[in-house]
Amino acid sequence: MTTFSIGALQVDRSGIPVIRGVDLEARGGEISVLLGSNGAGKTTFLESLSGIIPVRSGFINLDGVELAKLRPGARAKAGLSHVEQGRTVFPAMTTEENLKVALHPDADLKEAYDLFPELLQRRNVEAGMLSGGEQQMVVIARSIVNRPRVILIDEMSSGLAPVIVSRLMRAVRQLADDGMAVVLVEQFAALALAIGNRAYVLRRGQIVYDGDCAALAGDPAHLHRLYLGDAAA
Amino acid sequence: MKHASFRAAATTALLLAVLGALIFFLLPKYWVFLVTAVFIVGIALQSLGLVTGRTGMISLCQMSFAGVGAWVTGYLNLIGAPGGLAVWMLIGGLAAVPVGIAIGLPALRLRGINLAIVTLGFAAAFDTVLATITFPGQTTFTQVVRPEAFDSDKGYFLFVLLTYGVIAVVLEFVSRSRLGAAWLAVRHSERAAAANGISIPRAKLSAFAISAFISGISGGLLAGYLGTLVSENFSMMQSLALFAVATMAGAHFALGAIAGGMMIVLFPELLRRLNLPQDVGNVFFALGAVQALSTGETIAETWMRLARKLRPTRAVEAATAAGSLPDKTSHPAGIALEVRDLTVRYGTVTALDKVNLKVPAGTVVGLVGPNGAGKSTLVDAIAGFLYRYDGSILLNGSPLEAISATSRSKLGIRRTWQTTRIAPELRVGEYIRLAAGPISESELESLLAWFGCPGPETLISTVDVGTRRLLDVAGAVASRAPVILLDEPAAGVSYDEALKLGERIAAIPETFGSAVLLIEHDMDLVRRACSAITVFDFGRVIAAGAPAAVLDMPVVQKAYMGVEFEEAAE
Amino acid sequence: MDSLFTAAVAGLSAGGAYAILGVCAIFTYRLVAVVNFTGAAIGAAGTFAMVALFELGMPLLPAVLFGVAAGALAGLAIGLVMTTWFTGSNASTKAAVTAALLVGIIAVGLRLTGGQHPHYFPEIIPGSAFRLAGVEVTWAAVTTLVLSVAFTLLTEQFLARTRTGLQLRALSQRPMAAELIGIRVRLLALGVWAVTGGVTAFALMIIAPLRSPDFASLSLLVVPALAAALIGAFSSFRAALIGGVMIGLIEGGVSAIGPVSQYRGAVPFLVILAVLLWSQRGARWDEAR
């Protein structure tokens, strides 16, 4: 069973401390939901995990392998995949080329089309011409055929219609059920909490909530305070 | 501030005088002759430092400008123009100015790479032209006549030193003036410079013009130094080598220019004495430049950093209020800023959809909404950084359409950026003056004290990012603009500091008279600072009103969390 | 008029070489995001390696092959510098690095090749191919033209059809996303540097006999190369191909017009100026800052 654990992580962004000592654990078969308002540091957190930006201190451990000092490519080879925010397709390549370029030797394009059959009829369309929802599917599928053990997904729902978002959420749940460890970063709490196992809330670079998704979903007043602040504060 | 300029200029003059005296009286004649070249090259390096090091435009044709100056000097010598070398080289420098401006004109629109290509192309073209037309008097071996009083080699050294001194002192003043700060600001971020009311074309062209002038003078001096010139003195290779040395030594610092001049002149001499080939020098310069570019620190900067370490470290001094702040500026009452039916499209995406917003004079209005809701696009539109939008934006009732970012800033719309864009080479006081224009010493001090900022002589590079965010706000406020747009001023600031900043922002209207539009994600800060807020989602206004009431509205909670909390509001 | 035509045709082989250099410049810019001022100097290194081997008595063909390999190695060396220390730097800094390196390479090159000391440059492709309207067209001109067209088309096909080409396109479109899916970006980048080095070396070998063949002059062919690349807006291989040939033709033509013939070296500059003023007329702000 995959275990992805992060401890005492500190990350600076152009000199500003953005992540101030975060601990988090994600297990295979589970979705760990990371919530937080804008500017809380969610994206910086994921980027430091995949190696886009360096960490200042702390550890990033995937099944006993320490990743914090590795280059992004080496982290990918170690089994970590990062679906960046903003639907980072290769815009001038077709859907199929987008998938092919990431194809792991043991993987098959069929896996991608099984997860998102919608993409099959768009396989020869340039990814830049796809709709936002389709692009999001391409990016997630591209991650899958890379055969990761941990997948980090950043703000996949932003700017998408609710019906597409729930379609994507179902696919993410399926990935976890297939054994992958998922770290799902979201600004929109409700849908994520509905499919997630464990929830974390990040505020100004620190974890201010760590517990069951169901428990947080059942206590909206608490979530409200964590998100929109408190008049009494 | 003026004090500091005078002190720096006096220090430079004094150091040069002492150095000159030592060289003049202690060194043998041959060495004085060599050192003369150090200062001539030093002048050329200063000219390159101004345009490349200070303003951030790569120039690979600096010796071509020098060549123009030298050619004109040689021509005036040949026709026996009155005035002698001192006048000829000034005319030579002036002749280089239009050439510099012509090369700089494409730089109004281009930066970095394209400009590097243009200047390299010009250097190549100038090579061809110079090889064809040859220097005046080159074929007849006519010597350029030195000034009578400085005719000997030692005398000419004094003449060159004097010229170097005058240029160095003037540059010291200019670099500490608002123009000098503007050059650094342009290099660091053109948008941020425009947001402070700086005309980018003027800053760039003035840098090119002054740089070409100084370089032209160095060419004239070289003509007097060597007597006769050949086109190789000003070839493209010379320009490239000069660029490498300037990059390595840091030619925009007085120290770096002299160090670079010494390397160019004395290094080959050293190699000659060691019986090594002299062109190895260029290899050394290339490696040094690559090293400086990879560490981001030039030799001059390294020395200054080490020197600072040697001195007893002084803690960053907080500004102390010299007197009380002047009264708040009175701006027209009513609606300071109004946005009417603003629509912005990027291709097929509608970023803003018929947005309406009012910021009454004397208030702080908050603008909140999830990521990608269009908040920063709105600020860009108001401040003039979008070419095209539909709808209208009014400042005190008059529309701003078709007015540039620089002009809007001068009219009274100031903005800050999500990440701080202050050039780190500036001092605190220089930045505030850059942002505010003329401001008295006591007002500057008390403004900094009000914000809890460090004193005006503190280097920006030595203060932490949280303080720089504060300076962003302080600069905008110091301009006394009727409208100030703050784009996430508390990003990256700790929770406690954010709350403190919120209180400061809340007090801006009554203390300084400006109205504030505040974009911020931290709701506690927003609650503290704002009298009203507007909520955006998907480029539309979904709610507006008093903070507490709006933040409790279900539609707002839905925008933020993707779910409604009717029960929570009870 | 006739002499103008003759002269323009004489500029053909230079134009073909400019086109190849321009396509290489775009190749480097698109795939590893560097505007490379050392492009021609890398090629010059390969060319002089060939000449040195030839002078030592090696037959022409192996000498050419070794020369191309030397060009590839020189390109690889620059690539190592760029990928080791400047991967995260902005485009301006990278350009400044290559401009500074150019100074050092030319110095080393001049030293090793004996400065202005004349070398014998074998004509790799000698002779006249055919006569066009009474004007002799040399095999060198035909070859550089064919080569430049072939190189352009091959580059396009390689990028479109091979797995490595696919990875290179991914790398050029989104370097970070490419790295995140485990593409070996550094290896690919070094490959690009080596290939452009080798190709440039071969192009310069063909036109070296037509030029004042010292190391510095060959290295400074980077100016027409970048002018051609600018015509292609640093993205279109075909436009750069046509642009390079055009510059060669104009240069040839100018050299036939008596009063201005001495100034043909200024042609690339005027082309650069014209292209930039036209293409940048709408731009206003520095990108993303």
**Does residue A44 register a pLDDT over 70?**
yes
CB–CB contact A229 B524 (8 Å): yes
Rounded CA separation B22/B16 (Å): 10
Structure tokens at C234: 């640093």
CB–CB contact B113 C91 (8 Å): yes
Q: Which residues of C touch B106 (CB under 8 A)?
A: 273, 276-277, 280
Give the per-residue pLDDT at C284. 57
Q: Which residues of C touch B293 (CB under 8 A)?
A: 86, 89, 93, 96-97, 100
CA distance B462 to chain A (A): 12
What residues contact residue C80 under an 8 Å CB cut-off, 6+ apart?
C190
Whether A137 maps to a domain, the answer reads no
Whether A127 maps to a domain, the answer reads no
Three-state secondary structure string covering B108-175: HCCCHHHHHHHHHHHHHHHHHHHHHHCCCCCCCCCCCCCCHHHCCHHHHHHHHHHHHHHHHHHHHHHH
Query: A74 near A113, Cβ under 8 Å?
Result: no
pLDDT, tens only, B19-58: 888 888 888 888 999 999 999 999 999 999 999 989 888 9
Which of B83-97, B251-265, B319-333 has the largest mean confidence?
B83-97
B313-318, Cβ contacts within 8 angstroms, sequence gap of 24 or more? B316/B454, B316/B455, B316/B458, B316/B462, B316/B463, B317/B454, B317/B455, B317/B457, B317/B458, B318/B449, B318/B452, B318/B453, B318/B454, B318/B455
* Mean pLDDT across B239-252: 93
What residues contact residue B10 under an 8 Å CB cut-off, 6+ apart?
none
Sign of CA dihedral A12, A15, A17, A18: negative
Q: Which of B58, B124, B421 sits opposite C268 (nearest CB)?
A: B124
Q: Which residues of A touch B372 (CB under 8 A)?
A: 158-159
Share of chain B above pLDDT 70, in %: 94
Query: B546 near A208, Cβ under 8 Å?
Result: no
Q: Which of B58, B117, B279 sits opposite C96 (nearest CB)?
A: B58
Whether C158 maps to a domain, the answer reads yes
When pLDDT is cut at 50, 70 and 90, the band that residue A8 belongs to is: very high
Interface check for A161 against chain C (CB to CB < 8 A): the answer is no
Domain of residue C31: give its range. 2-279
Whether A13 maps to a domain, the answer reads yes
pLDDT, tens only, B374-403: 888 899 999 998 878 899 999 998 998 888
Structure tokens at A175: 């990935």
Interface check for B348 against chain A (CB to CB < 8 A): the answer is no
CA distance C56 to chain A (A): 46
Looking at chain C, which subunits does it touch, using at least 3 CB pairs closer than 8 Å as the criterion?
A, B
CA distance B136 to chain C (A): 18
**Does residue C270 register a pLDDT over 90?**
no
Rounded CA separation A121/C138 (Å): 53
* Mean pLDDT across A192-211: 90
Looking at chain B, which subunits does it touch, using at least 3 CB pairs closer than 8 Å as the criterion?
A, C
Structure tokens at C168: 């290179």
Rounded CA separation B38/C241 (Å): 45
Whether A166 maps to a domain, the answer reads no
Where is average pLDDT lowest: A14-23, B26-35, B194-203, B387-396?
A14-23
Interface check for C162 against chain A (CB to CB < 8 A): the answer is no
* Mean pLDDT across B67-80: 93
The helix/strand/coil state of B25 is helix
Whether A96 maps to a domain, the answer reads no
Q: What are phi and psi of B199, to 5 degrees?
A: -80, 115
CA distance C20 to chain B (A): 18
pLDDT, tens only, A56-97: 999 999 999 999 999 899 999 999 999 998 889 999 899 999
Give the per-residue pLDDT at B565. 41
Give the per-residue pLDDT at B569. 33
Instruction: Count up the domains in chain A and report the number.
Output: 1
* Mean pLDDT across A174-193: 89
Higher pLDDT, C39 or B556: C39
Closest CA to B434 of B186, B193, B178: B178
CA distance A229 to chain C (A): 32
Strands across the sheet with A16-27, in order? A16-27, A3-13, A57-62, A65-66
Q: Whole-number mean pLDDT of chain C?
A: 87
Share of chain B above pLDDT 90, in %: 41
Structure tokens at B456: 């005006």
CB–CB contact A146 C182 (8 Å): yes
CA distance C170 to chain A (A): 6
Q: Which residues of B touch C277 (CB under 8 A)?
A: 106
* Mean pLDDT across C140-150: 87
Query: Mutation test of the interface with chain A: which of C179, C180, C235, C289, choosing the one with the most A Cβ atoms within 10 A?
Result: C180
Q: Which residues of B touch A191 (CB under 8 A)?
A: 562-563
Instruction: Count up the domains in chain C and report the number.
Output: 1
Where is average pLDDT lowest: B355-359, B527-531, B566-570?
B566-570
Q: Which residues of C touch A81 (CB under 8 A)?
A: 180-181
pLDDT, tens only, A105-140: 888 999 999 999 989 989 999 998 888 889 999 999
When pLDDT is cut at 50, 70 and 90, the band that residue B567 belongs to is: very low
Domain of residue A210: give its range. 1-28+36-78+152-157+186-233
CB–CB contact A73 C179 (8 Å): yes
Q: Which residues of B touch C225 (CB under 8 A)?
A: none
When pLDDT is cut at 50, 70 and 90, the band that residue C287 belongs to is: very low
CATH of the domain at A9: 3.40.50.300
Q: Which residues of B touch C251 (CB under 8 A)?
A: none
- Tokens 């509205």, located at residue: B553
What residues contact residue C161 under an 8 Å CB cut-off, 6+ apart?
none
Whether A49 maps to a domain, the answer reads yes
Q: Which of A18, A39, A158 sits opposite B372 (nearest CB)?
A: A158
Q: Which residues of B touch C273 (CB under 8 A)?
A: 106, 118, 121
CATH superfamily of this structure's domain B335-569: P-loop containing nucleotide triphosphate hydrolases (3.40.50.300)
Query: Mutation test of the interface with chain B: which of A13, A213, A224, choosing the one with the most B Cβ atoms within 10 A?
Result: A224
Rounded CA separation B174/B172 (Å): 6
Interface check for B24 against chain A (CB to CB < 8 A): the answer is no
Sign of CA dihedral B507, B508, B512, B514: negative
Which of B208-212, B251-255, B532-536 has the largest mean confidence?
B208-212
CATH of the domain at C144: 1.10.3470
* Mean pLDDT across B287-313: 86
pLDDT, tens only, B406-427: 999 999 999 998 888 899 889 9
CB pairs under 8 A between A and C: 58
What residues contact residue A75 under an 8 Å CB cut-off, 6+ apart?
A49, A50, A51, A67
Whether A174 maps to a domain, the answer reads no
CB–CB contact A88 C174 (8 Å): yes
Interface check for B535 against chain A (CB to CB < 8 A): the answer is no
**Where are any strands of DSSP class E within chain C?**
128-132, 135-138
**Pairing relation of β-strands B390-395 and B335-346?**
antiparallel
Give the per-residue pLDDT at C104. 94
Interface check for B18 against chain A (CB to CB < 8 A): the answer is no
pLDDT, tens only, C169-228: 998 888 889 999 989 889 999 999 999 999 999 999 988 887 777 888 899 999 999 999
String of b and e for A7-42 (b: at least 16 CB within 10 Å)? eebbbbbeebbbbbebebbbbbebbbbbbbbbbbbb
pLDDT, tens only, B481-526: 999 999 988 876 777 778 888 889 999 999 999 999 999 877 888 8
Query: Mutation test of the interface with chain A: which of C181, C184, C185, choosing the one with the most A Cβ atoms within 10 A?
Result: C181
CB–CB contact C181 A146 (8 Å): yes
CA distance C46 to chain A (A): 33
Q: Break chain B into its structural domains and give their ranges.
A: 2-235, 335-569
Give the per-residue pLDDT at A232. 40
Rounded CA separation A209/A200 (Å): 5
Residue B3: alpha-carbon gap to chain centroid: 22
When pLDDT is cut at 50, 70 and 90, the band that residue C289 belongs to is: very low
- Tokens 């975060």, located at residue: A22
CB–CB contact B548 A231 (8 Å): yes
Q: Which residues of B touch C107 (CB under 8 A)?
A: 279-283, 286
**Where are any strands of DSSP class E within B267-348?**
335-346
Neighbours of B340 (CB within 10 A): 14
Query: Mutation test of the interface with chain A: which of B561, B563, B564, choosing the one with the most A Cβ atoms within 10 A?
Result: B561
Rounded CA separation B566/C115 (Å): 84
Q: Which residues of A touch B488 (CB under 8 A)?
A: 39
Give the per-residue pLDDT at C1. 52
CB–CB contact B371 A155 (8 Å): yes
Interface check for A81 against chain C (CB to CB < 8 A): the answer is yes
Rounded CA separation B89/B229 (Å): 14
**Does residue B568 register a pLDDT over 60?**
no
